[in-house]
Chain A
Amino acid sequence: MDPEKLEDLISGYLEDALSPEEAETLFRELRENPEAQRSLLLTSEIDAALRDFELSQAPAGAVNRPGTARFRGSTAFRAALRERGVARGTSWKTAVAAAGLVAAGTLLLAMLVSQSDPSEVNRAARRTKAAPLPPPIPEDRAQPQDPPTRAPREATEARLAEVRRALEEEEERRRRAEETLQEDLRRKSEEELGRLAREFRQLQERLANREPPEPAKPAAPSPPSTVVPVAQLELVQGQVFVVGKGEKNSAKEGELLLPGQGLETGDAGRVVILYADKSRVELAPGTLIRELGDRAGKWVDLVQGTLRSEIQKQPPGRAMVISTPHGEATVLGTTLRIAVDARSTLLEVTEGRVRLKRLSDGKATEVTSGHTALLATGVEFAARPTPIDEIFLAPQQGTRVGNEWRLTVDNKASTGWALEVPLDLPRSQTVPQTPLAKIPSYVSFKFRADANKEYFVWVRGLALPTPRDPALHDAVILEVPRCRVTQPGFQSSGGPQSAEYNGFMDRQGYGWLGGWGASDASGPVSMRFLRSGEQTLRLYAWEAPIRIDAIWLSTTQKTRPADDHRGPDSGKK
């Protein structure tokens, strides 16, 4: 096969842009030609290296971008590099070396889950020292597509000399940063190892302890104490401070929180705390946590403000406790929101089960999924169903059926992800029209909603470019059983249990539709569910190519949201 053709096929494959026929051609070549396999692997490695490089170049505020935020465990590593002046504003060469460390950090932090001794990074990182410059390759070979746009040679050479000097300086800084970092990692891994060993011994003793416990022996001299971080700051936005021991310092993304430290968010501050077991706690603006710790389990002393959390299942006997001035919530593994002001504590449990204790009399109650309890003077202390007024369905929540829909990264989408149908689908033009039941591919959403409430339903989408008439390639249909669906002034092509959202081509980029067309005159689609509890909604592609960012059911949003509106939480951040 012509090498250029093979390069195009490999690149197209990595972009998921091959037709089935092209894919078969590539697969045949991969089967028959070992060099093709080698090219695919080396090209994938180039992709990975480019990605690492670009991540290492990203400014501090960009690490929460979709895609980078999911670079698990490496945030601290990158932050540490940044802090030591390595990653930011560095040259290409230094950045690639740092990128190698980022990749190593990802692995090593993952390994900390079990045991770790990452001193090997030193050796691995040393291997990333620069190699001699490769011989120049003619630009016309490099970029046949691009007309040459060269700067004057002298200026280029002067710049190169400047860059080389900067490289040498930064190489030295990188080396120093690397040594410091290795020391940090080594210390943390040994602490973790020690803790695991202690826990293991305790467990062994407990299991083997069929005999009466021995009388207490005089305490042996305790080893030098080590401080194990409680959690890490995964995301920091706006004014966020680490507080404790009379100090108040600006928080940094990736910073480790030590026992006894707390957090405070300013009026526009927001922070996400990540625990080692992947539990997450998010603080809204104006929140104060006096202390985070790990006593007989995770401990959060919430003084005021609002906290949302997704807590992984906690080990027996080590439940997480959120303490407020009015009570204590004991969490075994759940998703919840808790809001505290001077007079009350409000607990909403989305998923799981929480035991809530009132401090004034010690009375406790269990708050389960979809329920709320309020601790306040003069209010009956009991769990009640949480009113559901806003429902935001993000792409990741949907279950894709069939092969039309795919989940794609999109930094213009509300959550960084979008549902996409890249196919050319003018279903509205087929005669007779296909009933929804015959369409094999859709996205199914499950969510909770209240009966007999009027929800106004908005869909945020984007009509993708098409060489054909765009007006015939920009529609989706929502189908909702056990629900009264009203679509003012228009009958959905999907039948009475459905609503058609047609006309995304009229928006500039992503935009919200309340039904047919961008006209707001007739009002949005509304839905009334016939029973409370879990509901199901299906999203069908009616005219594609199209991307869908979000579906928003709201009891209050009666007018079309601005196109850059990101849903019910966007105003609360």
Chain B
Amino acid sequence: MKKEPAVDRHREFVHEFMGVQPSLRAYVLSLVRNFDLADDLLQEIATAAWSQLDTRDATKPFAAWVLGIARHKCVDFLRSRGKYRVVLREDIAESLSERAGRLSDEMAERRKVLAQCIEKLSGSARDVVHLRFGEALHPQEIAGRLGKSMAAVYKILSRARAFLVRCTGHALSPGRG
């Protein structure tokens, strides 16, 4: 059965959006630093991108276009909330969006090896990671639960993140991180 052109158009859009999603999500998260807000914004960005598809300049990369939409959405959001004491400056947000567009493929590749890297974390680091990302506990609560100081929890989180960045990078090409 012949499909309507709209279906093909939509399929193409979804395909491109899927490709850029890892970097898009990382970018949004780097600005709002809250998973739920990031997911909400990601949906808004997808909807906005779909509705603005007709106005898109097809000669320019899809990633740059959609990250531009994301930048506007995030900056608007941060301005409207004004609850964050420390918010990335807009010039940095812009610069980050340009860089994020070039990282999509790499991020997707890194995800493939993340599981193996998580297995290499020590037991206590895994516990902290689980409580932080699975249970959504604040570092202070993690500290209370594990009998550690808050500074220690922050340090473990910092080391675990850095390790996972290095480990996933190393798996892609030795020496990279």
Q: Is the C-beta of A130 less than 8 angstroms from some C-beta in chain B?
A: yes
Contact B113–A134 (Cβ < 8 Å):
yes
| Chain B minimum-CB-distance residue to A23 | B86
Q: Is the C-beta of A209 less than 8 angstroms from some C-beta in chain B?
A: no
Q: How far is B114's CA from A53's CA once the two chains are assembled, in angstroms?
A: 10
Contact B47–A96 (Cβ < 8 Å):
no
Question: Would you give the shortest CB distance from B46 to chain A, in whole angstroms?
Answer: 5
Contact with B along A1-37 (1 / 0, CB 8 A): 0001001101111111110100100010011001001
Q: Is the C-beta of B38 less than 8 angstroms from some C-beta in chain A?
A: yes
Given that A72-B43, A110-B43, A142-B125 are known contacts, is A42 also in contact with B134, CB under 8 Å in the complex?
Answer: no
Best-surrounded residue of A42, A129, A465 (most CB of chain B within 10 A):
A42
Q: Is the C-beta of B79 less than 8 angstroms from some C-beta in chain A?
A: no
Partner of B29, one of A47, A66, A111: A47
> A residues within 8 A CB of B115?
53, 91-93, 95-96, 130
Q: Is the C-beta of A218 less than 8 angstroms from some C-beta in chain B?
A: no
Task: Choose the segment among A143-151, A225-233, A250-258, A339-347 that binds chain B (4+ C-beta atoms closer than 8 Å).
Answer: A143-151
Give the residues from 84 to 132 in chain A that come closer than 8 angstroms, CB to CB, to chain B.
91-93, 95-96, 100, 103-104, 106-108, 110-111, 113-121, 123-124, 127-132
Contact B43–A107 (Cβ < 8 Å):
yes
Partner of B26, one of A13, A44, A121, A136: A44
Q: Is the C-beta of A424 less than 8 angstroms from some C-beta in chain B?
A: no
Contact A11–B6 (Cβ < 8 Å):
no
> A residues within 8 A CB of B95?
30-31, 37
Q: Is the C-beta of A430 less than 8 angstroms from some C-beta in chain B?
A: no
> B residues within 8 A CB of A142?
120-122, 125, 159, 163, 167
Contact A134–B7 (Cβ < 8 Å):
no
Contact A145–B100 (Cβ < 8 Å):
no
Given that A93-B115, A131-B109 are known contacts, is A66 also in contact with B161, CB under 8 Å in the complex?
Answer: no
Q: Is the C-beta of A43 less than 8 angstroms from some C-beta in chain B?
A: yes
> B residues within 8 A CB of A411?
135-137
B interface majority secondary structure? helix
Contact B14–A117 (Cβ < 8 Å):
yes
> A residues within 8 A CB of B164?
46, 50
Partner of A46, one of B50, B114, B140: B114
| Chain A minimum-CB-distance residue to B35 | A51
Q: How far is B34's CA from A67's CA once the two chains are assembled, in angstroms?
A: 10
Contact A137–B167 (Cβ < 8 Å):
yes
Q: Is the C-beta of B58 less than 8 angstroms from some C-beta in chain A?
A: no
Partner of A100, one of B88, B111, B125, B158: B111
Give the residues from 140 to 165 in chain A that come closer than 8 angstroms, CB to CB, to chain B.
141-146, 148-149
Q: Is the C-beta of A166 less than 8 angstroms from some C-beta in chain B?
A: no
| Chain A minimum-CB-distance residue to B12 | A120
Partner of A16, one of B22, B86, B89: B86
Q: Is the C-beta of A403 less than 8 angstroms from some C-beta in chain B?
A: yes
Contact B43–A31 (Cβ < 8 Å):
no
Given that A67-B36, A113-B47 are known contacts, is A41 also in contact with B103, CB under 8 Å in the complex?
Answer: yes
| Chain B minimum-CB-distance residue to A403 | B85
Size range of the chain A interface in the assembly: 35 or more
Contact A48–B38 (Cβ < 8 Å):
yes
Contact A133–B154 (Cβ < 8 Å):
no
> A residues within 8 A CB of B72?
none
Contact B30–A108 (Cβ < 8 Å):
no
Q: Is the C-beta of B76 less than 8 angstroms from some C-beta in chain A?
A: no
Given that A103-B25, A114-B47, A144-B159 are known contacts, is A46 also in contact with B18, CB under 8 Å in the complex?
Answer: no
> B residues within 8 A CB of A17?
139, 154
Partner of A133, one of B91, B116, B160: B116
| Chain B minimum-CB-distance residue to A65 | B136
> B residues within 8 A CB of A37?
92, 95-96, 99
Q: How far is B14's CA from A16's CA once the two chains are assembled, in angstroms?
A: 33
Question: Would you give the shortest CB distance from A425 to chain B, in whole angstroms?
Answer: 14
Contact B100–A41 (Cβ < 8 Å):
yes
> B residues within 8 A CB of A127?
108, 112
Best-surrounded residue of A4, A118, A131, A139 (most CB of chain B within 10 A):
A131
Contact A45–B25 (Cβ < 8 Å):
yes
Q: How far is B55's CA from A355's CA once the two chains are assembled, in angstroms?
A: 43
> B residues within 8 A CB of A72?
39-40, 43
Contact A38–B117 (Cβ < 8 Å):
no
Question: Would you give the shortest CB distance from B135 to chain A, in whole angstroms?
Answer: 7
> A residues within 8 A CB of B158?
7-8, 10-12
Q: Is the C-beta of A406 less than 8 angstroms from some C-beta in chain B?
A: yes
Best-surrounded residue of A54, A55, A142 (most CB of chain B within 10 A):
A142
Q: Is the C-beta of A58 less than 8 angstroms from some C-beta in chain B?
A: yes
Q: How far is B111's CA from A95's CA once the two chains are assembled, in angstroms?
A: 11
| Chain A minimum-CB-distance residue to B37 | A70
| Chain A minimum-CB-distance residue to B165 | A42
Q: Is the C-beta of B138 less than 8 angstroms from some C-beta in chain A?
A: yes
Q: Is the C-beta of A71 less than 8 angstroms from some C-beta in chain B?
A: yes
Q: How far is B11's CA from A124's CA once the two chains are assembled, in angstroms?
A: 12
Question: Would you give the shortest CB distance from B80 to chain A, in whole angstroms?
Answer: 12
Q: Is the C-beta of A39 less than 8 angstroms from some C-beta in chain B?
A: yes
Q: How far is B38's CA from A192's CA once the two chains are assembled, in angstroms?
A: 27
| Chain B minimum-CB-distance residue to A138 | B120
Given that A116-B14, A137-B120, A406-B83 are known contacts, is A129 also in contact with B112, CB under 8 Å in the complex?
Answer: yes
> A residues within 8 A CB of B107?
42, 45
Q: Is the C-beta of A539 less than 8 angstroms from some C-beta in chain B?
A: no
| Chain B minimum-CB-distance residue to A50 | B133
Contact with A along B129-172 (1 / 0, CB 8 A): 11011111111110010000010101111111111111111111
Contact A119–B157 (Cβ < 8 Å):
no
Q: Is the C-beta of A301 less than 8 angstroms from some C-beta in chain B?
A: no
Best-surrounded residue of A10, A48, A110 (most CB of chain B within 10 A):
A48
Q: List 3 tightest A-B contacts by C-beta distance, closest first.
A: A134-B171, A54-B134, A11-B158
Query: Which residues of A does B touch, CB under 8 Å?
Result: 4, 7-8, 10-18, 20, 23, 27, 30-31, 34, 37-51, 53-55, 57-58, 65-67, 70-73, 91-93, 95-96, 100, 103-104, 106-108, 110-111, 113-121, 123-124, 127-137, 139, 141-146, 148-149, 193, 197, 400, 403, 405-412, 464-465
9 A-B residue pairs with Cβ-Cβ distance under 8 Å, sorted by A, are A15-B157, A30-B88, A30-B96, A45-B26, A48-B25, A110-B47, A124-B15, A131-B112, A144-B159
New A-B pairs, 12, CB < 8 Å, besides A4-B162, A49-B114? A16-B86, A42-B169, A43-B161, A43-B165, A45-B25, A45-B111, A54-B133, A108-B14, A116-B10, A123-B18, A145-B159, A403-B83
